[in-house]
Amino acid sequence: MRLCPTFLLQRWLWLCVCARQWHCSNGNNCRLPLCVRQIGAYLRLMVDSLYYNTLTNSDVVMDSLMEPIFWMVDLLTRRFGAVFVCLLVILTTSILLVVYVVMLPLIINTYSPSWIAWHMSYGHWNLVMIVFHYYKATNTGPGYPPTMKNSIPFVSMCKKCIIPKPARTHHCAICNTCILKMDHHCPWLNNCVGHFNQRYFFCFCVSMTLGCVYCSISGRNLFLDAYSAIESTYQTPPLTFRDKMFHMSVIYMWVLTSVVAVALGGLTIWHAVLISRGETSIERHLNNKETKRMRKCGKVYKNSFNYGRLNNWKVFLGVEKKSHWLTRVLLPSGHVPIGNGLTWDIYPFRKDMMPV
């Protein structure tokens, strides 16, 4: 439960008046300056605000104590969002340079025509999927609730935006606005992940993970040879500068793609689990708390946005007929998601969701 601003303001003014009256009544015999006593009164107000009502629990106290850390993280993410985007573009471009300059000539000179065709086809499909979905994820707005008066049902009021919040809408402290079906704020996109760009974000994660796994597996033997060549102290004849750069480029490519494949792969699997359950990252935390609370009351909590695993994926990917698995999933597609992100009671009643 949030603290009432009017109550805190009245409490603060009352403490300041009391401190000033006590200063005037004691004259020059006062031990501490007035400014020091006002700071003490403010600190006392902060302590009182932690337990002034019976609804305060340990979560509220911890949130209050961690608020400066959250504020600092939000500030750094807001200021350095563009830096993260530039860093991702630079690292991805460096891997592409290694692939095209170092690995592609070896593939053409070593592999059979069928293997060359497979590598060229899959590699460029993967690259197109990465570039397309990253561009759309960064440049597509996540979706915002209307600020004007409307008849759309809402579940609460945002205390910061002072507007009604529809279901699954949450306030982003970094963007300083409410986001429809907010999942999280991604610094690598410099954008919030919400209703209208969550599919782009997830498809980018899948494509980038597949690309890193592809580079890691394809370059494994080259990495082992390059590492052995670099580690060898006595070379006959010694390595030239060009050979050293070749081996170092292979090692750099393999290490970076392997690390990203593991880290981003874990994140992608986690989001796949959430999508299968019809949840976002924020809703996962809230649903766990609600499940524990209702379990204590002898009840079972049911997520009203979970339509079954297959239907959850169809709703998320926008699959409304069989051909969409190709045109909207395996190929780049800029279609908008199902629904407007404001109401969520239409999906269980769609007649074409189950047969697809």
Just list the catalytic residues.
Answer: 186
CB of 158 closer than 8 Å to CB of 214 = no
Query: Residues with Cβ < 8 Å from 346, sequence gap 6 or more?
Result: 339
Paired with 177 in beta bridges are 172
Residue 247 to residue 282: CA distance in whole angstroms: 44
Kindly write down the DSSP assignment for every residue of 188-215, as one continuous string: TTTEEE-TTTHHHHHHHHHHHHHHHHHH
In the structure encoding, which two tokens stand for residue 183, read together? 């999942």
Residue 63 to residue 66: CA distance in whole angstroms: 5
* Residue with token string 């750069």: 245
CB of 308 closer than 8 Å to CB of 282 = no
Q: What is the dihedral of CA 144, 145, 149, 151, to 10 degrees?
A: 140
Residue 313 to residue 326: CA distance in whole angstroms: 14
Kindly write down the DSSP assignment for every residue of 70-106, as one continuous string: HHHHHHHHHHSHHHHHHHHHHHHHHHHHHIIIIIHHH
**φ/ψ of residue 310, rounded to 5:** -65, -45
Query: Residues with Cβ < 8 Å from 159, sequence gap 6 or more?
Result: 2
Write out the E strands in 102-162. Answer: 156-157
Closest CA to 50 of 37, 40, 60, 35: 60
DSSP state of 99: I
Q: How many CA atoms lie within 13 A of 334 on its CB side?
A: 7
Q: How far apart are the first and last CA of the chain?
A: 44
